[in-house]
Structure 1
């Protein structure tokens, strides 16, 4: 952890956590206003493929940014819909108002809101919030827990077991480029079970000890920083496909423990 974050007072950490929960509450309300409602439309942010954005994405980020402007005006902000805002504190809030907009449009319940606080070393605290399911996963500043309909529980990643017994999640069957997809298949062909379409919920399930691996490519900083904070707090490992830091996005290998991470990393690299 960078010196800046290591020297934060207890009161400042408490304020950062309280602010993150306030952001998640606001985004939960904003996204549920439009979820499964008739007539919800989406624009595409790209022309080559369908990359949807809805009024709910924009509304949720606007409400989170308004809270930050009031409570933490000295901090920088990086959001998927409205880009970067400079700050003076050395801390940056990284926001994804709806991770899984395709799922949101389809009425599936596992899309989420991603909120994290980062310093120059990467994310130090994060939330993965599932508004419709009403589960919230929290990691950083000594905490690793989830709160939802079944109560509050500590987060702890799975212990090591053979790769042949592992469960692997990813959002898209066609992972990345042709070469990246071939590398992904080398791992997928060795595990017991592969499931797709999870978006950020896959990372939450890894932190909760339900699965062993999440492997993806082509991600952005706002896709990965909250999951990194939550998974690392729960004892997991998150790197790129070469074993380096991945908080700026790109290729991501999230693993429940160092043993399964090492096995998957070796296969990804042939």
Structure 2
């Protein structure tokens, strides 16, 4: 796989990343209100990648609202979303959005799903060729808004105020609480389960919350010591990845620090040297390449 140097904050005008963070927060809040306040009795469920991978009418409505708001605020930027409706741009910035991350939880009324809104430089279609510069992840049920911009730290805003996020001080994998998730294809889930069986005796415990965006933000907030998952798309992780990094977490992929569909992992800084090689080895052994 060919990779390209990741852009840095110096490629953006001074102060722009913070402005983009505010836009991401505003847009995420608006979409969050929509999916809660206007949730219909009939969610109009259909399937995407497999029979167990649902999409609802609210996924599409949320994305349409996000695109509308971004077009008004940033008309020259491109948009890449999980649902239909992507658009091109001329600014070199792309908004990478997941209108409802954790649709199964939303479908079942489990209050652990998110609206994820990030803006990146580079090409989000090519692993290693893009970098998030601002983003927000909102849990519409709890009102928790995780947000960050490149070089500006990570924060959690609730009705009680805003606080800075930091990854845990954990240093022992055997005592690590680890988050993960699973894909929708049956064969992939089988392989992911084999990895889990191999990993579970080596860590404190496993949590499976049902959405990558909130898992990555949980890593940032100290609710998890480490995290890993395969088969993630850019919209699943763009905003959460930035929040986690800005909170001090170390993130990587199957080789080096390039995150790919084969593997995304993150850990508290004191765990990374142990957890990264461990989960890389297990992913290579059990999951393999998804290309």
Structures share fold, TM-score greater than 0.5 = yes
How do 1:159-178 residues align onto structure 2 when only pairs under 5 Å count?
159-172=169-182, 176=188, 178=190
8 Å CA contact 1:96–1:222 kept in 2: the answer is yes
Secondary structure at 2:41 match in 1: coil
8 Å CA contact 1:183–1:267 kept in 2: the answer is no
Confirm or deny that 1:192 pairs with 2:196: no
Cα deviation, 1:36-55, whole Å, max 9, x if unaligned, reads x5333311113x43211111
Question: Do the aligned partners of residues 8 and 266 (structure 1) sit closer, same or farther apart at CA in structure 2, a change above 3 Å counting?
Answer: closer
1:44 maps to: 47
Tell me by how many angstroms 1:195 deviates.
1.5
1:260 maps to: 271
8 Å CA contact 2:21–2:136 kept in 1: the answer is no
Cα deviation, 1:156-203, whole Å, max 9, x if unaligned, reads 001132111110111239894655543443332211111213413221
Confirm or deny that 1:17 pairs with 2:27: no
Q: List gaps (5 residues or longer) in structure 2.
A: 123-129, 283-291
1:74 maps to: 76
8 Å CA contact 1:5–1:119 kept in 2: the answer is no
Question: Do the aligned partners of residues 242 and 189 (structure 1) sit closer, same or farther apart at CA in structure 2, a change above 3 Å counting?
Answer: farther
Cα deviation, 1:108-135, whole Å, max 9, x if unaligned, reads 1110011111112311222111111100
Question: Do the aligned partners of residues 261 and 49 (structure 1) sit closer, same or farther apart at CA in structure 2, a change above 3 Å counting?
Answer: farther
Secondary structure at 1:109 match in 2: coil
Aligned-residue Cα RMSD (Å) equals 2.3
2:113 maps to: 111
**Number of residue pairs matched by the alignment:** 266
8 Å CA contact 1:220–1:250 kept in 2: the answer is no
Q: List gaps (5 residues or longer) in structure 1.
A: none
Tell me by how many angstroms 1:14 deviates.
3.7
Confirm or deny that 1:127 pairs with 2:136: yes
Higher strand share: 1
Confirm or deny that 1:237 pairs with 2:250: yes
> For the residues of structure 1 that align with 2:193 and 2:255, how far apart are their CA atoms?
15
> Normalising by structure 2, what TM-score?
0.83
2:287 maps to: none
Tell me by how many angstroms 1:8 deviates.
2.4
> For the residues of structure 2 that align with 1:244 and 1:7, how far apart are their CA atoms?
20
Secondary structure at 2:106 match in 1: helix
8 Å CA contact 1:216–1:253 kept in 2: the answer is yes
> For the residues of structure 2 that align with 1:88 and 1:102, how far apart are their CA atoms?
35
8 Å CA contact 2:178–2:205 kept in 1: the answer is yes
> Normalising by structure 1, what TM-score?
0.89
Question: Do the aligned partners of residues 211 and 4 (structure 1) sit closer, same or farther apart at CA in structure 2, a change above 3 Å counting?
Answer: closer
